[in-house]
Structure 1
Amino acid sequence: MTERRRTVLEGTRTRRIRNPNDSQIEAAVLNLARESAVVHSETTDDHTYIQVWQRLDGLYQLEHRAGSPAEHYQTMTVSADKVHTAFIAWRNHDEHWTDPFTWKPIGHLL
């Protein structure tokens, strides 16, 4: 079994939580209001993270970055459940966590 990442979860409506458990991640994502965001980042590398923003139109804009700006990707989904599952899988180093989505690179926009 792979060790979990050491992480911090915080957001527009979520106070900073070190090494959040599954329930805390689920609550942060499922309680997102429109125009709010949640970021889940590694404690040792602030350039490695997963984040979500619930847009005004209700879509979840999910992004992840794996170090450099060139490794920044984005996808959209209507499913809060898929987002919270992705946050947990990312934290757990699940190598297939990106599979349910179609990602596009956005590093060139940053």
Structure 2
Amino acid sequence: MTEHRHTVLEGTRIRRTTNPDAGQVEAAVLTLARESSVVLSEYHDDNTYIQVWQRPDGLYQLEHRAGSPLEHFRTITVSADKVHAAFTAWLHEEDDWTGAFTWKTISELF
């Protein structure tokens, strides 16, 4: 695991935080309310991020974008713990963090 990147954490019901620690990321994701969202992005690149929205039905819509609209993906999960693990792995730039999900490209939406 590498030193984590320079990031910004923000969301519907949380204050914008630069370089959040693991506890701040955990709290933001695990206390997410329905119809709320959390985004963790590169500090100087709004096109590189991971985000989650808890839908009205309680499912988590998890997305990540790796720079360009052609690299924008979405998955759905029932597990807040899996979302938290994905945010943590993304933050620490772990290579295999996407493997826990089946992703669909949504680049056609942009």
What letter corresponds to residue 100 of structure 2 in structure 1? P
Q: CA deviation at 1:3?
A: 2.8
- What is the aligned partner in structure 2 of residue 28 from structure 1? 28
Q: Confirm whether residue 84 of structure 1 aligns to residue 84 of structure 2.
A: yes
Return the alpha-carbon distance in structure 2 between the equivalents of residues 81 and 9 of structure 1: 18
Alignment map for 1:1-110 (pairs within 5 Å): 1-110=1-110
Return the alpha-carbon distance in structure 1 between the equivalents of residues 77 and 22 of structure 2: 20
Instruction: Structure 1: state its 5+ residue gaps.
Output: none
Return the alpha-carbon distance in structure 1 between the equivalents of residues 43 and 8 of structure 2: 6
How many residue pairs match? The answer is 110
C-alpha offsets along residues 51-86 of structure 1, whole Å, 9 cap, x if unaligned? 000000000000000001010000000000110110
Q: Which has the higher strand share?
A: 2
Q: CA deviation at 1:5?
A: 1.0
Return the alpha-carbon distance in structure 1 between the equivalents of residues 57 and 44 of structure 2: 34
Per the normalisation by structure 2, the TM-score is 0.97
